[in-house]
Amino acid sequence: MGVGPGDRVALMDVNTPAHAEAYFASAMLDAIYVPVNFRSRASEANHMIEKTSPTVVMAGGRYMDLIESCECLEDQGVSRISLDPGATADGWTGYEEAIQSAEPYMGYPTGDDDDTTMIMFTSGSTSLPKGVTLSHGSFTSFVMDNVPPADPDAIECNLLTVPLYHIAGVQSMMAGVWGGRTLVLQPQFEPEGWMGLVQRESVNRAMMVPTMLKTLMDHPKFSEFDLSSLDVITYGAAAMPESVILEAIERFPDVQFINAFGQTETAATITMLPPEDHDLTGTPEEIEKKRKRLRSIGVPMDGVDVQIMNEAGEQVAVNVPGEIVARGKRLMKGYWGDDANGGVNAEGWLYTGDLGYQDEDGYIFLTGRAREIIKRGGEMISPEEVEETLERHIAVREASVIGVPDTTWGELVHAVVVVEDGASVTEGEIIEHARQALASYKKPDKVHFTDELPRNALGKVIRPRVKEKFGGG
């Protein structure tokens, strides 16, 4: 296919072995791998393909038409590879055919840790996706600092459901390979299929997002499957409601839980809440402290420096809120094709856009996103703080809090609430519940009720879409 150093290889498909094969093949050739979100709209896919100008595009059968709709491919002479044996079209080569026709390659990569190995696009919930440039060092620094190397005497099996266009999926894949674990891929999450794979393959480890975990426990056949082989469940990529993790700890009594926090720009996890903080045993005081820590994102990991800074770029004191910043080898190099350094300052600090504080024990608690803070009458309100409070109401399953423009106050606090099945609650009761737990200015000015909240592929609530639907007053 003529792929060489610096060339881009793009792939759009659900989780399949081709993802891992294509990444490591690209790395062997000193090329750059570009996983493309298979849930992308045509305009987003065209943007990602045009931005990276790949030499080769690989796609599952159901996504070939979407790739063909990308106007930027018309005159670029891009090789197209179909990943499904039954999916053919003019100008496309079958995956197995391409492998069989290729000459054996005996070369070795010549790049170094600073060379780009992957371009991974952000979700683009508020704008077109940005291509995050990640180096070999971005991944090796995380894996080698935090994952034990393969033990020939240990047999472990890792179930991978998180999509491989997402940093959590790639991180899980690389950790599994380095750790010598068997990787079991589920193309897309489906709860009964997931439980069946755990039972059949004796899965030891799994990476999940909160909605996946909640969906499993709510499934009517949950108790029919043998999930006893599970040793470790890592969760992240979205906020975990306290009620969900408490239920999970109870229903998976022999499982060690790990909360992993990071973002695409950090290439991997930068803070972690370890298993021992999920063990709700001890004195009443110890249990209460652990329950509080369940609402945190844990402590900074080895190999990365994490601090809380104010707007002046100064580290703040304990329990004082500010923006979470990170520095270290695993951070991105910047955004592909952009001159901007992506929020990395001269001292190497990446400003994550996440707000939070660090307590006296080093645990970091999120308080919101910098651009999502609600400004009501000069007061700053964290949507996450109000959401967490509302979700402690017995009748509230989940909540999303937004700021709505107001000529008098600047913004008003509106809550969008999903009620538990069979429960009944009024707007006034919810507001009163918040008033008793929060400063008066933080309580919702209005409550909207809905059957479900809009979410992305990983289950994270898409706040801009909540605003679009409920932000009219």
pLDDT of residue 222: 96
CB neighbours of residue 144 within 10 Å: 12
Q: pLDDT of 188-216, one tens digit each?
A: 999 999 999 999 999 999 999 888 898 89
Which run of H or of E encompasses 168? helix 167-178
Q: What per-residue confidence (pLDDT) applies to 438?
A: 87
Six token digits for residue 468: 């679009």
What structural domains does the chain harbor? Answer: 8-138 (3.40.50.980), 304-371 (2.30.38.10), 373-470 (3.30.300.30)
Residue 125's pLDDT is what?
A: 43
Tell me how far apart the alpha carbons of residues 259 and 297 are, in angstroms, rounded to a whole number.
Answer: 7
Per residue in 316-345, pLDDT (tens digit) is 999 999 999 999 888 998 889 875 556 677
Q: Does position 313 have pLDDT exceeding 50, yes or no?
A: yes
DSSP characters for 380-426?
A: EE-HHHHHHHHTTSTTEEEEEEEEEEETTTEEEEEEEEEEPTT----
State how far Cα 384 lies from the chain centre.
17
**Using alpha carbons only, how large is the chain's radius of gyration in Å?**
23
Q: For the chain, give the percent of residues with pLDDT over 70.
A: 96
Above 60 in pLDDT, residue 154?
yes
Across 367-382, average pLDDT: 77
Among candidates 443, 460, 467, 428, which has minimal Cα distance to 389?
A: 443
Q: What is the mean pLDDT of the chain?
A: 90
Q: How does pLDDT run across 119-152, given as a tens digit for each residue?
A: 999 864 445 788 999 999 999 888 888 888 998 8
Left if phi > 0, otherwise alpha if psi is -120 to 50, otherwise beta: which for 416?
beta
The overall pTM is greater than 0.75: yes
Q: Rounded CA gap, 121 and 289, in Å?
A: 37
Across 109-118, 248-257, 361-370, which has the greatest mean pLDDT?
Answer: 248-257
Least confident of 234-243, 258-267, 385-394, 447-456: 234-243
Phi/psi of residue 437, each to 5°? -105, -20
More confident residue, 33 or 312: 33
> If pLDDT is split at 50, 70 and 90, which confidence band does 453 have?
very high
Q: Has residue 162 got a pLDDT over 60?
A: yes
